[in-house]
Structure 1
Amino acid sequence: MKALVISDIGKAEFTSVEPARPGPGDVVLKVRTVGLCGSDLNTFRGLNPLAKLPRIPGHEIGGTIVETGADVPADFAPGRSAIVVPYTSCGKCASCRKRRTNACQFNATLGVQRDGGMSERLVVPHEKLILNDRLPARHLSLVEPLSVGFHAVARGSVAAGDTVVVLGGGMIGVGAMLGAIQRGARVIAVEVSEAKRQLLLDFGVAAVVNPLRVDQLEAVRELTGGDGADVAIEAVGLPETFVAAVDMAGFAGRVVFVGYAKKDVSFNTSLFNLKELDMFGSRNATRADFGAVIGFVEANPAISDKLISRVFPWDEAEGSFEFWEANRNETLKVMVEFPDE
């Protein structure tokens, strides 16, 4: 069986792996599409501390069931399409005991802490699949990354009438923008890529602030009548964007951190108290987030198509990471598509 492996920093190549065999409770998926995530790109660049090389990347996976093991419910029949929930949960840590399994202390995400979906077949426990025969294959792989943004919106309790500032116009940030807009919020995007400006406006964003061209804090103040954001969502992962999210949040506002900075962050902590901010971390996504995104993608196929910047056929997948690295400012989602049999 053929798989794509990141074998060394800056090197992705095809390799042969053992054929997929299901155990009790497992299904075998024929992988149809895999979206590349920023974590995959960072693994390729040698900047992902959670991934050890060599690693088969990929956790944004859509596929078709081709085989089932013992004790798999009849609903998970060969021929059915499915979305993979790529996280694990131990069931014993504090997060799991609180039923927040998306934040399991010992989570191992496909393609990050363990080999992922960039292979012709993938064995998955049936309970980690969401069956969906309505979405096209490419849209199946959009659900997981959008769900992470939708989860951040849920963490921030975004409501109709809120003004939400989202820092970062990558796929996670765009997911937060779309999730906030769907809830009736007014969204301001903070994004350095001018190539993405019109696309974000087409998605329904009210304004796009480029911090390389204007004073971003002053621009947000002007766009909010001096109040600042009701909710600020950080989806970049740099120390300066962490600080900016706190600065942009208004008094009695909420701040949600989705990215994580690789260096220490220095805050003016008086703003935490003076503004009486509610501050939240946001990790992965829940089944409820997946369900909300599936409804959104099904209802908005044209927007879903626009999220996909480039599709590589499976036999050209070795070049997908180099393409994304060279075209980061213009790229939302790079996807690998496997041939039909």
Structure 2
Amino acid sequence: MKGVVCSEAGRLVYREDLPEPVRGEGEAIVAIRRIGICGTDLHAYQGNQPYFTYPRILGHELSGVIEEIGDNPEGLRVGDQVSMIPYLHCGNCGACLSGKTNCCRSMRVLGVHLDGGMRERISVPVSHLFRMEGLSLDQAALLEPLAIGAHALNRSGLHPGVRALVIGAGPIGLGVMAMAAASGSEVAAMDVNADRLAFAKSWAKSVHAVLATESPKDRLLEWNDGELPSVVIDATGNLRSMTDAFGLVGHGGSLVYVGLVNGDITFNDPDFHARELTLLSSRNATREDFRRVADAVTSSKVDLNAYITHRCTLDRMTEQFDAWLKPESCVVKAIVEIN
């Protein structure tokens, strides 16, 4: 079987001798057709991804076609095109029993804790397959990054009529912006890259752009009638940005970290208390978040086709990966095809 292995930090190896997956009880064999490239993959390749060990087959933004499956309550059959929910939860811990499967105590994520889908076939629990209805293979693979954004929005409590700031116009931040706009909220996008801000306005329908290097606090006060936003979502995964974000939240507001950094974040407690801020983390997504994104895509509120800026085939991926890391490549979302 063909696939790509991240054998160590900085090294991807294309192989044609990977073992075939074995279908376990309650699982299905899925032929992978599309793989979205995520920041997690890039960070793992660079050697700065938490929860990660090598060697590892990357890939958790996935869609494909069922090749083998048994009787199942979902009614899935051979030949069905599916998206995959890559967060394998235990179903028995306190978080799972309370419906928070996204932060299961024994969480295993495909492509992070377990080998992922950057290969021709994979065995996946049937419970984590999502039948594609009205979606293309490209769209189905990209439900996952927008579901992360949808979950962050749910955590934030953002609702129509409330203005929000989303820091970081990378793939996850753009997904947060797009889902917020689809729900009727006004969003300011903030980034260090003017081209990404332009994309945020055109694709994610952010109504205001803030260049992080040009007095962002002043720009936000001008935009929001002298008040800082009551909801700020940081999707950068950058320690400096995540620390500075505290200073951009209005009194009584909420700061949500959807980006993850491998380090410690500190803040001034008197200031934190004076503004009675709420600090929240947001991890992964639930099946309901996937459904919310699928509905937004099928109703044309979010255009996932325009989200894709780069693509290649599996056998060419190792030679493309380093180029995708360079800012001048202007990658928003890259996708790998297996036909």
**Alignment TM class, shorter chain as reference:** over 0.9
2 CA distance for matches of 1:159 and 1:313? 40
Question: What is the CA-CA distance between 1:108 and the residue it aligns to?
Answer: 1.1
The code of the aligned residue for 1:89 comes to H
Structure 2: gaps (5+ residues): none
**1:188 corresponding residue in structure 2:** 188
**2:233 corresponding residue in structure 1:** 233
Moved more, 102-111 or 262-271: 262-271
**2:178 corresponding residue in structure 1:** 178
**The residue matched to 1:322 in structure 2 has which SS?**
helix
Equivalent residues of 1:30, 1:65 under 8 A apart = yes
Question: What is the CA-CA distance between 1:314 and the residue it aligns to?
Answer: 2.0
The code of the aligned residue for 1:299 comes to S
**The residue matched to 1:116 in structure 2 has which SS?**
coil
Q: Deviations over 1:32-59 (max 9, x none)?
A: 1000111111111111132211110000
1:163 and 2:166 aligned: no
1:309 and 2:309 aligned: yes
**1:77 corresponding residue in structure 2:** 77
2 CA distance for matches of 1:329 and 1:161? 36
Structure 1: gaps (5+ residues): none
**2:89 corresponding residue in structure 1:** 89
Question: What is the CA-CA distance between 1:302 and the residue it aligns to?
Answer: 7.4
The code of the aligned residue for 2:24 comes to G
Equivalent residues of 1:6, 1:12 under 8 A apart = yes
**1:34 corresponding residue in structure 2:** 35
**2:274 corresponding residue in structure 1:** 274
Q: Deviations over 1:225-252 (max 9, x none)?
A: 2211021001112222223322111111
RMSD over aligned Cα atoms: 1.6
**1:55 corresponding residue in structure 2:** 56
* TM-score normalised by the chain length of structure 1: 0.94
**The residue matched to 1:303 in structure 2 has which SS?**
coil
Kindly tell me the number of residue pairs found equivalent between the two proteins.
Answer: 337
Q: Deviations over 1:90-123 (max 9, x none)?
A: 2333322322110112211000111000010111
Moved more, 87-96 or 294-303: 294-303
CA 1:133–1:143: 2 relative to 1, 3 Å: same
The code of the aligned residue for 2:137 comes to A
**2:44 corresponding residue in structure 1:** 43
**The residue matched to 1:305 in structure 2 has which SS?**
coil
2 CA distance for matches of 1:93 and 1:132? 29
2 CA distance for matches of 1:302 and 1:93? 34
**The residue matched to 1:174 in structure 2 has which SS?**
helix
CA 1:242–1:289: 2 relative to 1, 3 Å: same
Moved more, 286-295 or 267-276: 267-276
**The residue matched to 2:253 in structure 1 has which SS?**
strand
The code of the aligned residue for 1:312 comes to C
Match runs of 1:1-341 below 5 Å = 1-15=1-15, 16-69=17-70, 71-73=71-73, 75-203=75-203, 204-212=205-213, 214-300=214-300, 303-327=303-327, 330-339=330-339
**The residue matched to 1:251 in structure 2 has which SS?**
coil
2 CA distance for matches of 1:271 and 1:103? 29
CA 1:68–1:328: 2 relative to 1, 3 Å: farther
The code of the aligned residue for 2:197 comes to R
CA 1:301–1:142: 2 relative to 1, 3 Å: farther
2 CA distance for matches of 1:74 and 1:189? 39
2 CA distance for matches of 1:138 and 1:263? 34
**The residue matched to 1:122 in structure 2 has which SS?**
strand
**The residue matched to 1:13 in structure 2 has which SS?**
strand
The code of the aligned residue for 2:167 comes to L
CA 1:331–1:74: 2 relative to 1, 3 Å: closer
**The residue matched to 2:52 in structure 1 has which SS?**
coil
**The residue matched to 1:52 in structure 2 has which SS?**
coil
2 CA distance for matches of 1:104 and 1:136? 30
Equivalent residues of 2:147, 2:285 under 8 A apart = yes
1 CA distance for matches of 2:225 and 2:151? 28
1 CA distance for matches of 2:119 and 2:301? 26
The code of the aligned residue for 2:324 comes to W
2 CA distance for matches of 1:194 and 1:155? 28
Equivalent residues of 1:246, 1:271 under 8 A apart = no
Moved more, 228-237 or 260-269: 260-269
2 CA distance for matches of 1:82 and 1:245? 38
